[in-house]
Amino acid sequence: MIPVKGFGESEGKGADQKCTDFEALDGEAIALGGLWKEYIHSKTGEVITTCSVITLGQAEWLKPYHTTASPLMLPDNDNTRQMWLDSSFKDRDAFDDLLQPQLVQDLIATPIDKPTKYNPIGESIVLKKGS
């Protein structure tokens, strides 16, 4: 599980690119499904931790902002997050519903100029879970 304050998506390229920042409406973290790995750097001996967010196919709720993929979001309304973190849990079928893109918490979508500057350039809208 990768807890994040928010995430960004973009659509288009160059002058036509539109960037949007997403944060939880309630100000809580968004839990993304992900994988992590630790390895030892071959030259420095330093332990490096890396992670990647699992992405799914196109989501209807995300279509106005990004048309190719969506992050796997872990719901907070059942024990999914606990099962995800439990290394002894082996029932993979319990996660089948997560493989369909879904909005599991209310988000605020804010158009921004670009992720490196994060300047809002329009009105934020609320995306309601289940949409």
pLDDT at 88: 95
> Quick one: which of 96, 92, 122, 90 has its CA closest to 109?
122
pLDDT at 64: 92
| CATH H-level superfamily of 2-127 | SOS response associated peptidase-like (3.90.1680.10)
Domain boundaries defined on the chain: 2-127
Q: Are 10 and 21 in contact (CB under 8 A)?
A: no
pLDDT at 130: 81
The tens-digit pLDDT sequence of the chain (131 residues) is 999 999 999 998 888 899 999 999 999 999 999 999 999 999 999 999 999 999 999 999 999 999 999 999 999 877 999 999 999 999 999 999 999 999 999 999 999 998 888 899 999 999 999 87
